[in-house]
Amino acid sequence: MNERARPETVGTTLEKSAFFMPFSMNRHFKKAPRLVSRAEGLYYYAPDGRKLIDGTSGLWCVNAGHCRKKIVEAVQKQVAALDFAPPFQLGHPLAFEFADKLASIAPEGLSKVFFTNSGSESVETALKLALAYHRVRGEGHRTRLIGRERGYHGVNFGGTAVGGIAANRKIFGALVAGVDHLRHTHDLARNAFARGQPKHGVEFAEDLERLCALHDPSTIAAVIVEPVACSGGVLVPPVGYLERLREICTKHGILLIFDEVITAWGRLGKPFATHHFNVVPDLITTAKGITNATVPMGAVFMKEELYQAFMQGPEKAIEMPHGYTYSAHPLACAAGLATMQVYEEEGLLTRVADLWPYWEEQAHALKGLPNVIDIRNIGLIAAIELSPREGAVGARGLDAHLKAFERGAYIRVAADTIALAPPLIIERAQIDELFATVREVLKTLA
Ligand code: PLP
């Protein structure tokens, strides 16, 4: 059963390895590596064969579970037939087929698709589309971009600039000019242990009016927010908040971008969070679950009128001077089409609606355990916020991550907040298994 694991890597020192690991504590990790060498369904397997439940769908991306046969086979077949085709001034049929398939699932009106290779690239693309859209319509004065504190929009320049996690920004200097941030919506004093959307905080959306008054709305091109801010600690939008953001953007002619890199593809019990909240942005960024993370890919969805604004002028002119060598890569399109088939056959884009109440109960059953100061949940996402150790923010969270790995669960943490978001194929017994491990970890944390 563990034939593909490689026991010979166990105990090998990685301290001199050339690999500069991303978003990792390189020295700490290389001294005591945590490796996985195989995955199937809901589980990772360490090289020694030890089984780990995947509590965060990899990086919130393996929505259908690992190594799904249909997706693996589609990629294998595609790589043998057409390994690559330039996406500029040339096409391959799967790119068009996949875009049409995606548009048929996307919220109504978001009918055109621009392919990228990651969430970060989707964010850069959406920001550039927003700026260019205003420019081609004669509103080139709209150059400001508004993000939100504690937001995460990937790691490229635009995404880092509109992002609002201080630790991710501080060593990179001034980043992009003309960016400002809404305040975040976390309000522990009023909303601790809320189930689903917190009751208090619609007024946080008025912060956009403050920025409009400060900069003048005619200078603002777009506002970008995650409908649920996941990487920044799972901040669920207060009731009415997204609706109000939408109203203010519409009133001032500002484009609203929902960064759905995590929340799309069934995480909240509907294909997109946009469907769940019933608030429609002008652009949506996605990635991750679009191919079940089998092959890197991202996509930006835009309203028809945005696309049409570019389709002016001479036909023999390139309408959007933007794109990536690997946009609509044949392997990614093949993986994506197979992924959508798996999602449809297994009802995964809506399955969470059934799991949600049970998931919520199990998450909130952790209330009262040592150091737990908040539990938040929405869809198949839960966050357990721990009080930080004095003078050592994040240390308790890191311990939770390490102890969970020892006890057979892979979980993510954002500072002292544990974030859980398993693959959408999870069954109740496995939800129990995951929370039982987290419970044991919490009991032993100093
Ligand atoms: N946007 C959001 C909301 C994300 O959660 C992420 C990654 O977690 C990104 C963008 C960046 O995606 P990637 O790591 O694929 O570049």
Domain ranges, ordered by start, for the chain: 7-63+348-444, 71-345
What pLDDT is attached to residue 110? 98
Distances (CA, A) of 25 to 33, 92, 394: 11, 41, 13
CA 363 to ligand 1 center in whole angstroms: 24
Residue 314's φ and ψ, nearest 5 degrees, are -60, 140
User: Nearest-CA neighbor of 168 among 156, 180, 176?
Assistant: 156
Nearest atom of ligand 1 to the alpha carbon of 156: 16
Nearest atom of ligand 1 to the alpha carbon of 229: 3
CA 234 to ligand 1 center in whole angstroms: 14
Nearest atom of ligand 1 to the alpha carbon of 226: 3
- Tell me what the mean pLDDT of segment 314-325 comes to: 97
Residue from 231, 284, 291 whose mutation best tests the ligand 1 pocket (most atoms within 8 A of CB): 231
Nearest CA to ligand 1 atom 13: 119
Question: Could you give the percent of the chain with pLDDT greater than 90?
Answer: 97
Which amino acids bring their CB within 6 angstroms of ligand 1? 59, 118-120, 123, 152-154, 226, 230-231, 259, 261-262, 287
Nearest atom of ligand 1 to the alpha carbon of 231: 5
pLDDT tens-digit series, residues 143-195: 999 999 999 999 999 999 999 999 999 999 999 999 999 999 999 999 999 99
Domain 71-345 has CATH 3.40.640.10: yes
Q: Is the pLDDT of residue 218 over 60?
A: yes
CA 435 to ligand 1 center in whole angstroms: 25
What pLDDT is attached to residue 12? 61
Contacts of 249 (CB under 8 A, 6+ apart): 208, 223, 255, 256, 282
d(CA 446, CA 398): 12
CA 119 to ligand 1 center in whole angstroms: 4
CA 178 to ligand 1 center in whole angstroms: 22
Q: Which CATH class is domain 7-63+348-444?
A: alpha beta
Nearest atom of ligand 1 to the alpha carbon of 262: 5
What pLDDT is attached to residue 13? 79
Kindly report the CA angle at 230 between 424 and 431, in degrees rounded to 5?
35
**What integer best gives the mean pLDDT of the chain?**
96
141: pLDDT confidence band, cut at 50, 70 and 90?
A: very high
What pLDDT is attached to residue 446? 84
CA 62 to ligand 1 center in whole angstroms: 13
Nearest atom of ligand 1 to the alpha carbon of 260: 3
Render 108-163 in DSSP notation, one character per residue.
TT--EEEEESSHHHHHHHHHHHHHHHHHHTT-TT--EEEEETT----SSHHHHHH-
Distances (CA, A) of 8 to 17, 48, 49, 279, 295: 16, 8, 12, 52, 27
pTM for the structure as a whole: 0.97
CA 307 to ligand 1 center in whole angstroms: 24
What pLDDT is attached to residue 268? 98
pLDDT tens-digit series, residues 333-390: 999 999 999 999 999 999 999 999 999 999 999 999 999 999 999 999 999 999 999 9
CA 118 to ligand 1 center in whole angstroms: 7
Residue from 121, 224, 288 whose mutation best tests the ligand 1 pocket (most atoms within 8 A of CB): 288
Q: Do the beta carbons of residue 147 and residue 158 sit within 8 Å?
A: no
Kindly report the CA angle at 379 between 267 and 369, in degrees rounded to 5?
125
Token couple for 239:
């009731």
- Tell me what the mean pLDDT of segment 32-51 comes to: 97
Nearest atom of ligand 1 to the alpha carbon of 59: 8
- Tell me what the mean pLDDT of segment 30-38 comes to: 96
